[in-house]
Amino acid sequence: MTTQEIIEQNKKSIILVDVQIPAEGNQKKVSIKGTGFIISSDGKFITNAHVYKAIAENEMEYAGVSVPGKTDENGATFYDRYKIRLLGEIDTENDTALMQIISEKNDFPIVKLSKESENLKEGEEVAYIGYPLAVELLNMGFGITMTTNKALVSSIKRRGIDGSFHFFLIDGHINNGSSGSPVFSLETGSVVGIASAKISAKIPIPGGVVADIPANMGICRPIKYATELIEKNK
């Protein structure tokens, strides 16, 4: 599939996880936690365990997701916001969480999960879609901004104990806000992984400041861990 086809088929299913706390003057204090993607028509979605854990206990009542809604004649997309809750227990080891959009809707668009992510190969082309640097873009006046990146699977990492598929590396940046983004195979168009963590170098610069320089590498978890969570919570 082309990257454009993957975007068009899935962009309504990729959601922004945030906390919006009421503030003075009818304003809200917004804190972006990451990305998620919808896997069932009743609003179940997958994100990272660390995205869920970034929501403080006293903030949970203000946590929610912004879901792409209607697109007007000029191409502008409007977002609908819903509250959320956790389903079951998070998988901290594999950085995966299954959550639920609180809504009576039963027609949320969904992504297709790969049943053959174990067959992912080094050199395979992938695309990941999410909301990197969402806070920065909001502060710059761009509003909610979904972006897409293409990359190669640069390395497959397996557990030394049993050889099972543990995680894979891609040759692309995973920025703040990208956590929880679905990683699509360009060959099949299905989700083969979840963007999980960035790799960067801490470089001291004059003035006592340490610059966080992103490497052209990102850590992704295979989608099998999400599938296992879904099966546990049926």
The domain locations on the chain are 10-101, 117-232
pLDDT, residue 163, reads 77
Task: Say if pTM beats, i.e. exceeds, 0.85.
Answer: yes
Q: Which of 66, 114, 178, 179 is catalytic?
A: 179
Whole-number mean pLDDT of the chain? 91
pLDDT confidence band for 213 (50 / 70 / 90) = low
Architecture of domain 10-101: Beta Barrel (2.40)
Q: Which of 13, 18, 50, 173 is catalytic?
A: 50
Q: Which of 95, 178, 185, 190 is catalytic?
A: 95
pLDDT confidence band for 151 (50 / 70 / 90) = very high
Beta bridge partners of 15: 36
Q: For residue 149, is pLDDT > 90?
A: yes
**Average pLDDT over every residue of 59-71:** 94
Is residue 179 annotated as a catalytic residue, yes or no? Answer: yes
| Domains 10-101 and 117-232 belong to one CATH topology | yes
**Average pLDDT over every residue of 84-110:** 95
Is residue 173 annotated as a catalytic residue, yes or no? Answer: no
pLDDT, residue 194, reads 97
pLDDT for 166-196, tens place per residue?
Answer: 899 999 888 889 999 999 999 999 999 999 9
CATH superfamily for 117-232 is Trypsin-like serine proteases (2.40.10.10)
Q: Are 183 and 112 in contact (CB under 8 A)?
A: no
Is residue 107 annotated as a catalytic residue, yes or no? Answer: no
Write the CA distances from 117 to 168, 170, 202, 220, integer angstroms. 11, 15, 33, 12
